[in-house]
Amino acid sequence: MSHTTIIVEKVDNQKQIEIAFEIRKQVFVIEQNVSQERESMDDKDAIHYIATVNGEPAGAARYRIMEKGAKIERIAVLNTFRGKRIGEAILLKILDDLKNEEKVYLYAQVNASQFYIKNGFRQTDNYFLDAGIEHVEMDFIK
């Protein structure tokens, strides 16, 4: 039986940031038809993460500190790695890094909201379209 090692780390060099951006481009721009400009908006203000599986790039995400709290954004897992708990590993690492923040929230694609509910988030009644995709605001319950 092969052992799978998932490592999620805060991006700290140019090579990692390029890999993280490439993963997000694959998921959001190519698969979901979000414009590159929309997808990469506010990247300079964000803290970025990358996930690897046995050393191979598999997922990425970011968060930004906003007026109303820490906002987790752009959780993306490459198609070949979906269903292997990579998204959960990324989310849990970010939540651990944000454990001292008063408020943590995100805007989930509605079709992914159950994933966030399983990981401690609660839906608000704020539904909206972003890049043509239905989203819902969700708050982390501490």
**Calpha distance 68→99 (Å, rounded):** 15
Q: The whole model's pTM is what?
A: 0.94
Residue 141's SS3 state is: coil
pLDDT at 2: 64
Residue 92 burial (10 A CB sphere; 0-12, 13-18, 19+):
middle
In this structure, the chain runs to a length of: 142
123: tokens are 């839906």
Average pLDDT, consecutive stretches of 10 residues, N- to C-terminus, the chain (142 residues):
86 96 97 94 96 97 97 97 96 98 97 96 96 96 86
pLDDT at 82: 95
